Structure 1
Amino acid sequence: MIRSKVVRLISQLKVDRSVLHWAERSPTSVTLRDLCQIGLDRRRRREHGVFLHRELRIRLAQRVLELESLPYRLGEQSGIRDVIEWYTGFVHLLEDSPVPHTDEQDEDFTHLLSKIFEEHSEVIQAMAFGVQDLIAELQEDYSLVQAEVDGILRRFFTARIGMRFLLQHHIESFRNRDGHSGILQIACDPEVIAQKAAKDSSMLCRAHLGQAPHIAIHHTNPGTFTYVPMHLHYMLTEVFKNSCRAVVERHADGFDDPLPFVHCHIVHGYEDVTIRISDEGGGIARAALPNIWKFMYTTSKKTPWSGRRDDFRTKPGDSACNPLQRPKQGGVLAGFGVGLTLSRLYAQYFGGDLKIMSLDGFGTDVYLHLNRLGTACEDLPQGVLYSPSMRDSSALEEVPQEQLLISADEEAFLRRERCTEEFNQLEGQASSDFYYMEDHPIASPDHETQTMK
């Protein structure tokens, strides 16, 4: 399938030769269990570096072809052309770097991955600019293609989450921090992450609106679990910002008004951790609920897009496109229309979910479901086994238009059906077979915006 797509594109597009070379190859999937062990074992880490040196070129090249072949001339929009050029440049950077067989080469390779990771942080904003240009071009007719464009963005951003996970996992494993396996924290305390996200969100809300409601954290049965703290912080920050803005806009008349609290309840279940965020911000009209998962949809009255376009290239580390950076007072509170949708993709990446229940006229409850990954990613729940984290990044399957905006539960069911046979085959492979033949590499899994809907 990949080879036939490449052959078609050769005759249609002017694609870099190196990109074509690597895009023909098949990406490989890495299990979470293997990644966790790699992060704890420095000897396996170097083997993983050899694997990444090849695998990242494949995944980046396939994303380039995917963007080049987008419908509705999306691939010709300036922001998306930028992403194509960046990804092509990353492929060349990796080609020009030696395979990391020695300690010195491994250190140099890790520095290169850090550079790619930082430059990769602008991709979301660039993609969104490209879609904004398409919206401006099509105007009312954009509604006719929105479902298909949303499906394209979901598949692209899911693959991007996977690439950034691999990058950051390898970078963090070089630091060899206690209690961590690369990017995974073995004893992640969701209360600590929630307190930090609440503080960051309150600061941002106060900077933009003059005040912010108190966010009360309730930990019903305190505990820890294995998870990616950066992902969790990003998701909670997005939800907290939504709640804070809604409460202030509904209840505040001036400054220092008495505002109803935003409540965050954390509960540890047998297989998952559930976090409920409740606010009294007025809720969302039932007719508008399906729109909240659409890219570029926002309830903010003021959009920051026009102000960001001119200085887009001059702020590569802007908090609006890098979830690893803490929100600053100069950050964006709302209006990009990607934050909640991306948060849902992060939750779904490990088989979790993000759901919203609204009581129109009163407030909103947001449920964040997170799967436990185990102390060494062993005995993984079914939701994780069939999640995007256990697959490669190809994601080029055709999805019927009527399925592009299906619920997360339906999506998970269909994903399980598609992946059962694939996973059984993967499970039967011995761990020693994973590493690294030139044409048969190993298994591999495949981080974003401090914006708010």
Structure 2
Amino acid sequence: MAARKFYESFSKSLIDDVRKWGSMKQTGVSLRNMMEFCSKTTEKNLLISAQFLHKELPIRIARRAIELESLPYGLSEKPAVLKVHDWYLDSFRDLRSFPSIKTSSDELEFTKMIKMIKVRHNNVVPMMALGVQQLKKGLHPKIGYENLDEIHQFLDRFYMSRIGIRMLIGQHVALHDPNPAPNCVGYIHTKMSPLQVAKAAGEDARAICLREYGSAPEVDIYGDPNFTFPYVPTHLELMVFELVKNSLRAVQEKFMDSDKLTPPVKIIVADGIEDVTIKVSDEGGGISRSGLSKIFTYLYSTARNPLDEESDLGTADLTTTMAGYGYGLPISRLYARYFGGDLQVISMEGYGTDAYLHLSRLGDSQEPLP
């Protein structure tokens, strides 16, 4: 029954093609590869990049499409997951039906097409969250969803792969920018100031806290303002935003009705030889040890769930609705790991929480390909 639902609008030859491409080997790239390869944006480089993506993207997309078909507990048949599966098959079909890329005009057409693919997949995260919500409603109450290891492992692989696909497409598309920012190679900033990015992310998180609660703790930042290293600013901003937002919420809720002075959230940036580490520190009361084991599982959240109020997430804005469906921390950790870093959270229940974001300085770790 499920198979018919899946494939009613897709030909058998396309499904066979998905199987074939899904069994091919993926090719990982590193931040350093991307930077060195794209440091000179020539027609030849753009052509080579497009030819690489023309072969690589169908492999990665086919693997995810296949995996979406056989998820445990009937997750594959949930309407939201079926929709995501269709997006992957549509994108696979678009890529496979695109002819060989031989000239600059072919490359421009291809770039237009992959840009559309990226937009098509914009809401994959909230849509998958909705699918897991749909699953959760029908599950036996005795199955605690934090214990659904298979589903958590699948989502980790799925989202890690998505980060990689979006990075490859975004990087290629950004190389066409007629007025690139200074020191930028596509998505990569070769002299990124982590302090500046952390400051901007902290201000964004504070604005959201002010909007939701009417007031917000201060955010204090410490570190060397002149220190820079190559990284992807959008990735770092997303991670720091998430950590600061969680800290602000914890402090705000702890001190809301208190006459004590509200303590600030602190961001500390340290530059080591191998890693750049960013610590986000709060005095928001901390997380219990039993709760700490759940914070990196999907759909564990202490905030109210926005999916309960929005059944159609076609237009949901991912960054602002991040609080609530429990995806912020696990996805931030995937972003950190994508370029060889990590995210750790250490908590003192009754006092506060420290989150350590480790970013690899060397830039030569390969993508972790699921």
Question: Does the TM-score normalized on the shorter chain lie above 0.5?
Answer: yes
Q: How big is the shift at 1:24?
A: 1.6
Q: Which residue of 1 aligns with 2:237?
A: 233
Q: Which residue of 1 aligns with 2:324?
A: 335
Q: For 1:66-85, list aligned pairs within 5 A.
A: 66-85=67-86
Q: Quick one: which of 174, 187, 203 aligns to 2:191? A: 187
Q: Which residue of 1 aligns with 2:349?
A: 360
Following the alignment from structure 1 to structure 2, what is the Cα–Cα distance between the partners of residues 175 and 240? 31
Following the alignment from structure 2 to structure 1, what is the Cα–Cα distance between the partners of residues 299 and 282? 23
The answer to whether the 8 A contact 1:215-1:262 is kept is: yes
The range that moved more, 220-229 or 127-136, is 220-229
Unaligned runs of 5+ in 1: 1-8, 321-326, 396-453
The answer to whether the 8 A contact 1:40-1:173 is kept is: no
Q: 1:225 to 1:81 in 2, by over 3 A?
A: same
Q: Is structure 2 residue 279 aligned with structure 1 residue 276?
A: yes
Q: Which residue of 1 aligns with 2:266?
A: 263
Q: For 1:54-453, list aligned pairs within 5 A.
A: 54-143=55-144, 146-175=148-177, 177=180, 178-220=182-224, 222-253=226-257, 258-300=261-303, 302-309=304-311, 311-313=312-314, 315=315, 318-320=316-318, 331-332=320-321, 334-373=323-362, 377=363, 380=364, 384-385=365-366, 389=367, 391=368, 393=369, 395=370
Following the alignment from structure 2 to structure 1, what is the Cα–Cα distance between the partners of residues 176 and 18? 27
TM-score (norm 2): 0.90
Following the alignment from structure 2 to structure 1, what is the Cα–Cα distance between the partners of residues 297 and 201? 24
Corresponding letter in the other structure for 2:234:
M
TM-score (norm 1): 0.74
Following the alignment from structure 1 to structure 2, what is the Cα–Cα distance between the partners of residues 85 and 12? 10
| Identity of matched residues, % | 35
Higher RCO, Cα 8 Å, sep 6+: 1
Query: Any idea what the Cα deviations from partners look like across 1:411-442, whole Å, max 9, x if unmatched?
Result: xxxxxxxxxxxxxxxxxxxxxxxxxxxxxxxx
Unaligned runs of 5+ in 2: none
Query: What SS does structure 1 have at the residue aligned with 2:276?
Result: strand
The answer to whether the 8 A contact 2:26-2:60 is kept is: no
Following the alignment from structure 2 to structure 1, what is the Cα–Cα distance between the partners of residues 172 and 55? 14
Q: Which residue of 2 aligns with 1:36?
A: 35
Q: How big is the shift at 1:38?
A: 2.6
The answer to whether the 8 A contact 1:205-1:333 is kept is: no
Q: Which residue of 2 aligns with 1:23?
A: 19
**Aligned-residue RMSD, C-alpha:** 2.4
The range that moved more, 44-53 or 32-41, is 32-41
Query: Any idea what the Cα deviations from partners look like across 1:127-184, whole Å, max 9, x if unmatched?
Result: 1111111111114233275112111111111111111111111111222624122211
The answer to whether the 8 A contact 1:304-1:335 is kept is: yes
Following the alignment from structure 2 to structure 1, what is the Cα–Cα distance between the partners of residues 59 and 149? 28
